A and B are shown apart, each in its own frame.
Chain A
Amino acid sequence: MRIAIASVGFLSAILGVPWLTALCIVALALRYRSWEAILLGLCVDFLWLPLGLSMYTLPYFTVGALFVVWVFEPLRMQFLR
Chain B
Amino acid sequence: MSAAMRIVNGKVYDPANNIDGEIKDICIKDGKIVDSVDDDAIVINAQGMVIMPGGVDIHCHIAGPKVNAARKLQPEDHRHDVHPGTPFTRSGTGGTVPSTFATGYRYATLGYTTAMEAAVTPIGARHTLEEFHDTPVIDKGFYVLLGENIFLQNLLREKRMEEFDQAVAWWVNATKAYTVKLVNPGGDEPWKGKKNSNVSDIDEKTDEGLSPREIIEAFIVSVNKQGFPHPPHIHCNNLGHSGNYKTTLETMKTAGDMRAHIAHIQFHSYGGELGKNPVSKAAEIVEYVDNHPNITCDVGQVMFGKSTIMTADAPLAYVLKGHTKGKWVNADTECESGCGIVPFQYQEHVYMHTLQWAIGLEIFLLSKDPWRVILSTDHPNGGSFMNYPKLIKLLMDKSFRHEEMKRVNQKALANCSLRDLEREFTLNEIAIITRAGPARALGLSNKGHLGNGADADITIYDEMEDKEMMFNAPRYVIKSGHAIIDNHEFKTDFIGKLLHISPEYDKKIEEVVQPFFESYYSIEFSNYAVDDSYLHDHEIIQTGNAKA
**Are chains A and B native binding partners rather than an unrelated pairing?**
no
Residues of B within 8 A of A (CB): none
